[in-house]
Amino acid sequence: MAARPKVAFLGTGGTISSLGWDSLDVLDYTATGQRLDAEAILARVPEARTIADIVAVPFRAVPSPAIGFAEWRALANLCAELAGAHPDLAGIVIGHGTATLEETAYALSLTLAVDCPVVMVGAQRPISALSSDAGLNLVAALRTAADPASRGRGVLVVLNDEIQAAREVTKTSVGRLQTFRTPDFGVLGQVDGPAVRYYRRAERRHGPGTPFDIRALPALPRVDVSYAYADADGTAVRAFVAAGAQGLVSAGLAPGMTPPGEADALAAAVAAGVIVVQSTRAGSGVVPATTRLRERGILSADNLTPQKARILLALALTVSRDPADVAEMFATY
């Protein structure tokens, strides 16, 4: 028999690691405070070890709202260490809560220095629940990470038998299993039993080889998101600037507009030296670089959601504060 591919599995917590009050608890399980580490998750899914020779890596077990830059930096360093320690490593799987999974996935896709596939996986139902999706999602993620066809595609997100690109995917439902979607473009591929099938590639650049190196970075520049709504008067924008924001993302009204008071506050922020990027709360579609935006010195987020535009803007500001350079990065990544 051929040797099984070697895949590292890191657990960061989240629903995929959670134990509820009983097998019917699919809503209140976070209240138990019980989360399994990587080795304990694998013990509950023995089928996983039939897919790959798994290196279980201790990390931490927290709900994903507690995950941010410090964890992204630690994961980037840990992935680099694993790739160096295991030259035969076929891929890496990272278990993660679904609340911020798309943000961690995009941040890592822009900053990882490893060339083996890295796959993010989560679950909508705790691992203790009746009909939990945790076990099969993990198996599908391991199959994807171990498949040579996954190499060179950036960080991937695998849930519900679907493979999606870190830049494009977003969580669209609180509780449904098909929550992760790529609204404009659809999935990259699917996992059907043992078969990993790809049908397209995401075209935007990703790591390794980006200018964004966070492995020794103490912190990211402060970038905040201002959410637009009818009658928004710019109070939030002014508060963010007063708090020291170096960049702002406007989650504007589609197709990338803001009420007059908010627009004036954003223009004042630009005049104060803050880089402002216009996204939209719509969840899909490109924000056009209109005359109105250009005259106000506001950049387009392209089709990035506000939460992902925030990540790219913060990383861009570690490289350049020139708006033209930042605009080029939004057109590239």
Checking DSSP bridges between strand 6-11 and strand 53-57, what pairing results, if any? parallel
Sequence-distant (≥ 6) Cβ neighbours of residue 288 within 8 angstroms? 255, 256, 300
Could you tell me how far CA 216 lies from the centroid of its own chain? Answer: 20
pLDDT digits (tens, 9 = 90+) for 31-66: 999 999 999 999 999 999 999 999 999 898 999 999
Q: Where are the alpha helices (DSSP H) in the chain?
A: 38-44, 69-85, 101-111, 134-146, 235-242, 260-271, 291-296, 306-316, 323-332
Rg (CA), the chain: 20
Mean pLDDT over each residue of the chain, to the nearest integer: 97
pLDDT digits (tens, 9 = 90+) for 110-153: 999 999 999 999 999 999 999 999 999 999 999 999 999 999 99
Find the catalytic residue in 12, 15, 210, 258. Answer: 15
pLDDT at res. 1? 57
pLDDT digits (tens, 9 = 90+) for 174-218: 999 999 999 999 999 999 999 999 999 999 999 999 999 999 999
Q: What is the DSSP letter of 35?
A: B
Whether pTM > 0.95 for this model: the answer is yes
Would residue 15 show up in a list of annotated catalytic residues for this protein?
A: yes
pLDDT at res. 116? 97
